């Protein structure tokens, strides 16, 4: 069992970032000092589950343990609150991706660990249900 993963699982399950109580700036991943006003008064905040695709790339070679997921598509997503996040994109053919496409966070298997077979879950992003194959909303 991976203890660091389980201690921080809310960050992976709920896309938990934080917000500055002084200026309202939101962050993901969380920060300990606000980069906008330098305040240390930050509290946890769940990030939106929807956003738009800013940029994307195809990765043909992965880190050890992720070979069965090759090739992997990663995207830079601008969430509805303006925070940008990098995530794996799933269930979307690479050829149909386009900048500005609406995406939604989905809960998926990240990997399995060794002989124990422990499965780790977390968020990835997929096409929003209200987006057609061409990326336009219906």
Per-residue pLDDT, 138: 35
- Answer yes or no: do 12 and 62 share one domain: no
Residues 38 and 80 in one domain: no
Relative to beta strand 50-59, strand 72-79 is antiparallel
pLDDT in tens, 110-136: 666 667 666 566 788 999 775 444 444
Global pTM reads: 0.75
Mean pLDDT across 3-24: 74
Range of the domain at 118: 48-130
Q: 94-104, pLDDT tens digit by residue?
A: 999 999 999 99
Whichever domain contains 116, its CATH number is: 2.40.50
CB 124 within 8 A of CB 90: yes
pLDDT tens-digit readout, 71-81: 889 999 999 99
């Amino acid at each position: 069992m991976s203890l660091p993963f389980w201690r921080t699982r809310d960050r992976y399950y709920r896309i938990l970032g934080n917000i500055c109580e002084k200026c309202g700036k939101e962050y993901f991943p969380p920060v300990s000092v606000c980069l906008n006003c330098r305040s240390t008064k930050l509290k946890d905040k769940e990030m939106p589950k929807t956003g738009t695709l800013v940029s994307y790339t195809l990765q043909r070679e992965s880190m050890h343990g992720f070979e069965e997921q090759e090739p992997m598509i990663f995207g830079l997503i601008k969430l509805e609150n303006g925070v940008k996040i990098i995530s794996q994109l799933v269930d979307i053919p690479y050829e149909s991706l386009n900048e500005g496409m609406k995406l939604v966070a989905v809960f998926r298997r990240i990997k399995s660990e060794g002989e124990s077979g422990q499965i780790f879950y977390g968020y990835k992003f997929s096409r929003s249900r209200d987006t057609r194959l061409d990326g336009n909303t219906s």
